[in-house]
DNA sequence: TATTCGATGTGCT
DNA sequence: GCACATCGAATAC
């Protein structure tokens, strides 16, 4: 049974660190979204790192614009952007102010409020297709541009860690859906978790890390 | 089971 | 004008 008191909210110092470290350590953490209707909770199982001006796939690779501006803020806020005319992607901003970097949440495992997530998603064939993709997660959690530039240290959207620490195995692979920087090993997911994106790149696991 | 393709609209060149 | 950190239906095998 899910109980919020078994979890501790991550603070700003967690996010204001090296992006690759944050991307790995976000796995196994729990993302909360609170609204009048109730709480949505899910375990993060897949992430991607986007590394500022050294990473050609990163929205903040070239320069600061109106869209990517949140990425340049101090870590601990959200960066939500609109993509392919239909969808949103949710990122957690990392590093210190001035470095345009973030972690994309690619896959989560529903924990609480699952009926609301189903309703938000519409037609679903299988349970594990509910949130195994960055825009599927946004649909299930009703995340859109109103959730851009939100403080993860506040009460509306935040991420917590379980009081009981669990050891996990992380698989490292290439990122999905990009052209530039496609060979960089910046995608991380929990080994053998069914809520990770289904993709042929999952067969090309580069390394495994125990965390 | 694997691969292709259309929908959709915003931001950037 | 075109590319895009996607999804899901349609098509091919």
Residue ranges of domains in chain A: 9-201
Distance A70 CA to C4 C1' (A): 19
Contact positions of strand B to protein Cβ (< 7 A)? 3, 7-13
Nucleotide nearest to A59 (CA to C1'): C5
The lowest-confidence range among A34-43, A51-60, A85-94, A150-159 is A34-43
Distance A41 CA to B1 C1' (A): 33
CA A122 to CA A200: how far, in whole Å?
A: 26
Mean residue pLDDT across chain A? 95
> pTM of the full predicted structure?
0.95
Question: CA end-to-end span of chain A, whole Å?
Answer: 25
CB-contacts to strand B (7 A): A 59, 62, 65-68, 82-86, 200
Nucleotide nearest to A102 (CA to C1'): C5
Structure confidence by residue, pLDDT tens digits, A103-112: 999 999 999 9
pLDDT on residue A122: 86
pLDDT on residue A139: 96
pLDDT band at A38 (very low <50, low <70, confident <90, very high): confident
Q: Residues A48, A106: contact at Cβ < 8 Å?
A: yes
The lowest-confidence range among A35-39, A167-171, A199-203 is A35-39
Domain A9-201 indexed as CATH 3.40.720.10: no
CA A71 to CA A92: how far, in whole Å?
A: 9
pLDDT on residue A52: 93
Please, what's the b/e burial string for A134-143 (b: 16 or more CB within 10 A of its CB; e: otherwise)? bbbbbbbbbb
- The CA-based angle A63-A143-A22, given to 5 degrees, is 55
Nucleotide nearest to A87 (CA to C1'): C6
Distance A166 CA to B9 C1' (A): 42
Structure confidence by residue, pLDDT tens digits, A117-166: 999 998 777 888 999 999 999 999 999 999 999 999 999 999 999 999 88
pLDDT on residue A108: 97
pLDDT on residue A92: 98
Structure confidence by residue, pLDDT tens digits, A62-74: 999 999 999 999 9
Contact positions of strand C to protein Cβ (< 7 A)? 3-9
**Mean pLDDT (whole number) for A3-21:** 97
Q: Which of A18, A201, A187 is nearest to A107 (CA)?
A: A187
| Nearest residue for B6, CA–C1' | A84
């Amino acid at each position: 049974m899910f109980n919020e008191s078994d979890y501790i909210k991550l603070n700003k110092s967690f996010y204001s660190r090296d992006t690759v470290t944050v991307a790995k350590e976000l796995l196994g953490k729990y993302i909360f979204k609170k609204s009048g209707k109730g709480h949505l909770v899910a375990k993060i199982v897949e992430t991607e790192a986007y590394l500022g001006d050294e990473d050609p796939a990163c929205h903040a690779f070239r320069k600061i614009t109106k869209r990517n501006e949140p990425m340049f803020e101090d870590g601990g806020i959200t960066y939500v952007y609109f993509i392919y005319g239909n969808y949103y992607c949710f990122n957690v901003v990392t590093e210190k102010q001035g470095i345009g970097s973030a972690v994309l949440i690619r896959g989560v495992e529903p924990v609480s409020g699952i009926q609301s997530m189903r309703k938000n998603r519409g037609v679903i064939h299988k349970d594990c297709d509910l949130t195994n993709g960055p825009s599927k997660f946004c649909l299930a959690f009703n995340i859109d541009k109103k959730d851009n530039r939100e403080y993860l240290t506040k009460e509306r959207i935040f991420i917590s860690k379980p009081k009981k620490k669990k050891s996990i195995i992380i698989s490292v692979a290439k990122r999905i859906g990009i052209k530039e920087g496609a060979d960089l090993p910046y995608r991380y997911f929990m080994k053998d978790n069914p809520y990770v994106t289904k993709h042929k790149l999952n067969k090309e696991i580069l390394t495994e890390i125990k965390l």
